[in-house]
Amino acid sequence: MNNVAASPSGVVPDRAPTDWRTDAMQRRIRRRYAAERRFRFMGLSAVVISAGFLAFLLVTMFLNGASGFTQTELKLPIDFPRAGLTLDPAQLHGPAQGGGADIALAAAGLERATDAAAIAAFGPKGDALLSDGAWLRVRDAVKADPALLKTRSIVSVPASAAIDSAAKGRGSAEAERQVAELGQRGVITTGFNPWFLTNSDSTDPTMVGIWGALKGSLFTMIVTLLLAFPIGVLSALYLEEYAPRNRWTDLIEVSINNLAAVPSIIFGLLGLAVFLGTFNLPRSAALVGGLTLALMTMPVIVIAGRNAIKSVPPSIRDAALAVGASPIQVVFHHVLPLALPGILTGTIIGMARALGETAPLLMIGMRAFMVSPPERLTDPATVLPVQIFLWSDQVNRGFIEKTSAAIIVLLVFLLAMNGLAIYLRNKFETRW
């Protein structure tokens, strides 16, 4: 071993051969190997900690949010004939359009009757056990079955936020005691809450739902897609296939690359100043939100589209040109269909980013309190991320689980979109 350093030509080396067995050398090697292991361990822990953070985030949201999909309900006996409702049964069959039955039931004192029933059933403070919107559930039950009005019947109504969180094990001592008491009487149940998916915003955490925000998100995404996809694809085609190399196309290219890196809130300022300030489009509308997000998404689609078009081999273009196709036919009949899977992947990723975006939509006023889902593109609307933001500001503790539950819904959508993008990329990936 110690002769390794000697040169074969017999020339004497200018220093003594290294003796690898000396203690100093062994120590040095051990130190170097330890450093190697440390370095490697640092790398591994960086990966593990980063992934761990993601897992922690997801698990926290899931644990907080899972209970948001459930709701505690109380079985409330109401003696309708004795409740003193001043109601003409004919009004219940009035025009559903104008909310005739709703108005009639509200005017008949149903809210007061519900509270009175709660006091009769659960003691002097019984009405505090119910959610503020409990009477709405009674109203819906009556509307569904007017025959109830003639009988003493039991209606399941949502419990108040305090009782709800106590039943899920996070309430105050007083509420816990009440829940235990109600549990002994067998009138309290906690189950899946379908209203969370079908209701809209409310001031009462036991009554809120995400349908309004989800519909707003859907409208906004439709506008974004309809604008960003054609414009993005067409400009990618122009820049990659036809554009002469001159100062103008350089300018376009630089603009697009820049737009992709502009902070999203700047697009919100643009939407505020141009769409609302100059064109006077309706505030808070899905239309304006979609326009703003389209400007943000378009550069993403252009960049993805150009990469996809670039990867179509020139031989395909040459073959088409050789049989007499015009440049337009070459692109629209041959290049575009081959590049489409790549463009679609980029589009889905861009849309996923737009779906999760909040800041620019706050700028154009999509933070209003919306109790009903939008019907048209120009109606005031809110979107899912903004709804999450609004709920996160609520002081009422019941909103924590609702916020996390809405986050779960949003993440499910995003992961599904990203998963679809990855699937498409793998399925259509072609190597020429």
Q: Footprint of another protein on residues 13-32 (CB under 8 A)?
A: 32
Residue with tokens 């088409």: 320
Question: Considering beta carbons, is residue 142 or 233 the nearer one to another protein?
Answer: 233
Tokens representing residue 246 in the block:
């001159």
Q: Could you tell me which stretch among 3-11, 82-90, 114-122, 415-423 binds another protein (CB under 8 A)?
A: 415-423
Q: Choose which of 172, 203, 255, 430 interacts with another protein (CB under 8 A).
A: 255
Q: Measured between alpha carbons, how far is 298 from 259 in angstroms, rounded to an integer? A: 9
Which long-range CB contacts under 8 A does 91-95 form with residues at least 24 apart?
92/142, 92/143, 92/146, 93/146
Q: Choose which of 6, 19, 53, 151 interacts with another protein (CB under 8 A).
A: 53
Binding mask 268-287 for another protein (x = CB under 8 A): -xx-xxx--x----------
Residues 65/392, Cβ–Cβ less than 8 Å: no
Least distance in angstroms from the C-beta of 347 to another protein: 15
Enumerate residues 64-123 that contact another protein by CB under 8 A.
64
Question: Considering beta carbons, is residue 130 or 210 the nearer one to another protein?
Answer: 210
Residue with tokens 């859907």: 218
Count Cβ neighbours within 10 Å for each residue of 229-263 and write b for 16 or more, e otherwise.
bebbbebbbebbbeeeeeeeeeeeeeebeebeeee
Q: Could you tell me which stretch among 140-148, 173-181, 340-348, 382-390 binds another protein (CB under 8 A)?
A: 382-390
What residues does 156 pair with on adjacent strands? 75
Least distance in angstroms from the C-beta of 256 to another protein: 4
Q: Measured between alpha carbons, how far is 422 from 415 in angstroms, rounded to an integer? A: 10
Q: Choose which of 159, 256, 288, 405 interacts with another protein (CB under 8 A).
A: 256
Element holding 89 (H helix, E strand): none
Enumerate residues 292-351 that contact another protein by CB under 8 A.
295, 298-299, 302, 326-328
Question: Considering beta carbons, is residue 43 or 337 the nearer one to another protein?
Answer: 43
Pairing of strands 70-79, 152-158: antiparallel
Binding mask 197-236 for another protein (x = CB under 8 A): ---------------------------------xx--xx-
Binding flag, residue 385, another protein (CB under 8 A)? yes
